[in-house]
Amino acid sequence: MEVILKKDVENLGYANDLVKVRDGYARNFLLPRGLADLATPSNRKQLNETLKQRAHKEAKIKTEAERIADGLLDKTLRIGAKAGEKGKIFGSVNTIQIADAIRALGFEVDRKNIKLKGDAIKSLGKYEAEVVFHRDVTRTIAFEVVEE
């Protein structure tokens, strides 16, 4: 079954993509949650019109995302955390804290677009995270967890 995605769906596609999925996945997951519409001829025609109108806006958004990504590329984020004697922190560092650190540098990134590489961060040290600024602009940024 072919569907047109209304929203970004992880491991499937982005909004306004035409994707082929199994019937049950579309009927039981995508359609009831409002994540997709059936790819009927009228919906396909509407999608083509929408894509034509968004083409030049998309180029602007992509260049802005590249500017933000390049601005963060050479910077190392510092995230403060309370730690014990052996460098083990209380709790763990998550994407919310990384998003706040990026926001402190003057760039806006949604925490949902940040993916930590590896396991949960529970000790001091240097780590990396993958940040999706745009569907075509993904960068790996370095950050360091330091003791407060």
Same domain for 93 and 118, yes or no, is yes
* Final residue of a structural domain among 42, 61, 80: 61
Same domain for 91 and 39, yes or no, is no
* pLDDT at 117 exceeding the cut of 90: no
Same domain for 44 and 88, yes or no, is no
Same domain for 17 and 81, yes or no, is no
Same domain for 41 and 97, yes or no, is no
Same domain for 80 and 51, yes or no, is no
pLDDT tens string 54-79: 887 888 888 888 888 888 877 878 99
pLDDT tens string 37-58: 999 999 999 999 988 888 878 8
Which two structure tokens, joined as six digits, stand for 67? 């500017």
Give the E-state strand segments of the chain in sequence order: 2-5, 18-20, 36-38, 77-81, 88-93, 114-116, 121-123, 125-134, 137-147
Nearest to 77 by CA among 94, 110, 100, 108: 100
Provide the whole-model pTM: 0.66
Residue 36's domain comprises 2-61
Which two structure tokens, joined as six digits, stand for 111? 């925490």
Same domain for 51 and 73, yes or no, is no
Split at pLDDT 50, 70, 90, the class of 17 is very high
* Final residue of a structural domain among 61, 81, 101: 61
Same domain for 20 and 50, yes or no, is yes
Same domain for 80 and 130, yes or no, is yes
Domain count, the chain: 2
Q: Which residues contact 141 (CB under 8 A, 6 or more apart)?
A: 72, 73, 75, 77, 102, 128, 129, 130, 131
CATH of the domain at 91: 3.10.430.100
Same domain for 125 and 91, yes or no, is yes
Q: Answer yes or no: are the C-beta atoms of 40 and 66 closer than 8 Å.
A: no
Say what percent of the chain tops pLDDT 70: 100
Q: Answer yes or no: are the C-beta atoms of 133 and 61 closer than 8 Å.
A: no
Lookup result for tokens 């040290």: 125
* Final residue of a structural domain among 36, 61, 86: 61
Lookup result for tokens 């001091």: 124
CATH of the domain at 16: 3.40.5.10
DSSP tag of 85: T
Same domain for 108 and 127, yes or no, is yes
